[in-house]
Amino acid sequence: MAPLLGKEACVSNPHHDADAHIASLKTILKPVKRHIECVRFLVGDNCSVNGSTATKLGIPLVGRASHRLNLAMN
């Protein structure tokens, strides 16, 4: 398992919905010859787009620990 960090494909797409994120992931995975089915989980903040993306892909969303701590403190 290797972390995949990719932001450029999202930046070039002005739409910020779950379908755009999935399309960006597919674009990022193509050069390394991986399919979207290889993604086992997403790590990100608990915004609705990340949750929707994870739901559409059928994988868990691992929320950021710092975000959860901030929510707990407030």
For the stretch 33-65, pLDDT in tens is 999 999 999 888 778 899 999 999 999 998 766
Number of Cβ within a 10 Å radius of residue 25 = 20
- The amino acid occupying position 60 is P
71 versus 39: the higher-pLDDT residue is 39
Using CA atoms, how far apart are residues 52 and 17, in angstroms rounded to an integer? 8
pLDDT over 60 at 11, yes or no? no
The full set of domain ranges for the chain reads 11-73
Rounded to whole angstroms, the Cα distance separating 55 from 63 reads 14
Least confident piece of the model among 6-10, 48-52, 68-72: 6-10
Residue 62 β-bridge partners: 43
d(CA 58, CA 61): 10
Who wins on pLDDT, 16 or 35?
A: 35
